[in-house]
């Protein structure tokens, strides 16, 4: 900001509380004229007042008769054109529906971004009967938490040629199951956390000079333990379940977390369910290639006597998993700057996580031991009842319950 803009900004902050619509417009016009060449842009950058408003003020200053005659009137409070969402309450939902299949989110940020252009979105909304301009779509996206982002290199690896088709396939399955009243859950393990009086990224409000004191070094030997949160996000209910493990993140732990969600929340919320759908990353304890994940799911499938439909995201696309930006990001924001001093603290902070859209979260500690290195043989794999989809069966498959006869 230049010295001229800084001076204009300082004056504006001092006077704006006394301005009505007309006096603000005329003051901005006078400042622009006083600044000389480039004055309109300088006032706009310093105050945020639209250029069109400043030009209108300049026009009025050049024609004092218009001001005296009252033609340059001040609008009554609440007058003027209503915002697009106020005039059309269904507009935001329609825009969300267009963005849903093509939305990405950073696991540790509530910010989301879209790959579709404003022009394309505006055209589609107009085709659906929502009169809206490109500019209004942009403003609405900003209010909804989206922003336009350039391509950025990541460490996610090489892009699979069928990546986008898999996204569309998952989105279609999710919509079908939600329409049928079946549970759809997004699952994943969150970053492990040291439990103790350690620094946690972020800031909290404290009295001046009274910041909370934490250990200088983050050594495991000084910790109460290590928390391994495994989350289950119910897409239809906008509800989360977090199983806070104290041991290793394994396939047995992953399925046990899903089992606990079903016993505590899922069974009661979906008494008429005909199947359960799970979306998961392609790697980790719930990876598409993990044999133990599939055998453990088969055991769970037999317990609940419901088919389990599984769809994995392609390699290197974990940020597309809904649990990342619908649950984990909000948990991270809720406990930022707060030392995770005990497992009880972690449970309380997770359970108190909410959003303006009504997210509710439950958490439970899991003291079980989950050893690594469990091998699954070819014979065990042949025992599971799995059917693979024609489209990438390694990512999309269904496990069906087996009937066990007690002889």
Q: Which residues pair with 398 in a beta bridge?
A: 309, 387
- What was the pLDDT predicted at 150? 53
Residue 209 belongs to what H/E stretch?
A: none
- What was the pLDDT predicted at 200? 53
Please state, in angstroms and rounded to a whole number, the distance separating the CA atoms of residues 130 and 140: 13
For residue 386, the SS3 value is strand
Domains of the chain: 3-69 (no CATH), 84-147 (no CATH), 163-204+214-399 (3.30.420.10)
Do 190 and 328 contact (CB within 8 A), yes or no? yes
Please state, in angstroms and rounded to a whole number, the distance separating the CA atoms of residues 230 and 348: 16
Residue 168 belongs to what H/E stretch?
A: helix 163-179
Q: What is the pTM of this model?
A: 0.61
Give Cβ neighbours of residue 179 (< 8 Å, ≥ 6 apart). Answer: none
Q: Which residues of the chain have pLDDT under 50?
A: 102, 104-115, 155, 198-199, 202-217, 219, 407
For residue 363, the SS3 value is strand
Please state, in angstroms and rounded to a whole number, the distance separating the CA atoms of residues 115 and 320: 13
Q: Which residues pair with 364 in a beta bridge?
A: 243
Where do runs of H (alpha helix) occur along 305-354?
322-323, 329-334, 343-351
Do 156 and 197 contact (CB within 8 A), yes or no? no
Among the listed residues 262, 259, 230, 260, the one whose alpha carbon sits nearest the alpha carbon of residue 246: 230
Specify the residue for token string 């006078």. Answer: 30
> 246-280: per-residue pLDDT in tens?
999 999 999 999 999 999 999 999 999 999 999 99
- What was the pLDDT predicted at 90? 82
Please state, in angstroms and rounded to a whole number, the distance separating the CA atoms of residues 139 and 74: 25
- What was the pLDDT predicted at 357? 85
Q: How long is the chain?
A: 407
- What was the pLDDT predicted at 148? 57
For residue 22, the SS3 value is helix
């Amino acid at each position: 900001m230049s010295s001229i803009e800084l001076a204009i900004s300082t004056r504006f902050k001092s006077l704006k509380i006394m301005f009505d619509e007309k006096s603000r417009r005329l003051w901005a016009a006078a400042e622009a004229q006083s600044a000389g060449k480039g004055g309109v842009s300088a006032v706009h950058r310093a105050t945020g007042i639209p250029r069109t408003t400043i030009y209108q003020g300049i026009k009025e200053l050049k024609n004092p008769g218009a001001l005296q005659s009252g033609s340059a009137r001040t609008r009554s409070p609440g007058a003027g054109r209503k915002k697009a969402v106020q005039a059309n309450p269904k507009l935001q939902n329609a825009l969300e529906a267009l963005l849903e299949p093509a939305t990405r989110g950073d696991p540790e940020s509530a910010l989301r971004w879209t790959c579709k252009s404003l022009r394309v979105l505006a055209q589609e909304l107009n085709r659906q009967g929502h009169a809206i301009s490109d500019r209004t779509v942009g403003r609405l996206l900003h209010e909804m938490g989206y922003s336009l982002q350039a391509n950025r290199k990541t460490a996610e690896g090489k892009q699979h040629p069928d990546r986008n088709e898999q996204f569309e396939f998952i989105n279609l399955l999710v919509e079908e199951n939600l329409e049928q009243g079946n549970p759809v859950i997004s699952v994943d393990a969150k970053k492990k956390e040291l439990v103790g009086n350690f620094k946690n990224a972020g800031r909290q409000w404290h009295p001046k000079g009274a910041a909370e004191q934490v250990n200088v070094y983050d050594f495991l030997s000084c910790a109460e333990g290590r928390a391994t949160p495994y989350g289950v996000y119910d897409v239809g209910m906008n509800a989360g379940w977090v199983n806070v493990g104290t041991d290793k993140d394994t396939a047995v732990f992953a399925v046990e977390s899903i089992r606990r969600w079903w016993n505590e929340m899922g069974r009661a919320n979906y008494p008429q369910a005909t199947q359960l759908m799970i979306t998961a990353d392609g790697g980790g304890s719930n990876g598409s290639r993990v044999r133990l994940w599939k055998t453990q799911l088969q055991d769970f499938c037999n317990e609940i006597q419901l088919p389990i439909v599984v769809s994995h995201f392609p390699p290197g696309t974990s940020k597309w998993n809904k649990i990342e930006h619908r649950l984990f990001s909000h948990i991270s924001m809720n406990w930022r700057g707060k030392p995770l001093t005990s497992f009880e603290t972690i449970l309380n902070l997770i359970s108190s996580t909410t959003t303006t859209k009504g997210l509710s979260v439950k958490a439970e500690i899991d003291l079980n031991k989950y050893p690594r290195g469990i091998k699954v043989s070819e014979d065990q794999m042949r025992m599971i009842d799995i059917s693979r989809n024609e489209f990438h069966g390694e990512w999309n498959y269904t496990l069906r319950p087996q009937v066990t006869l007690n002889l």
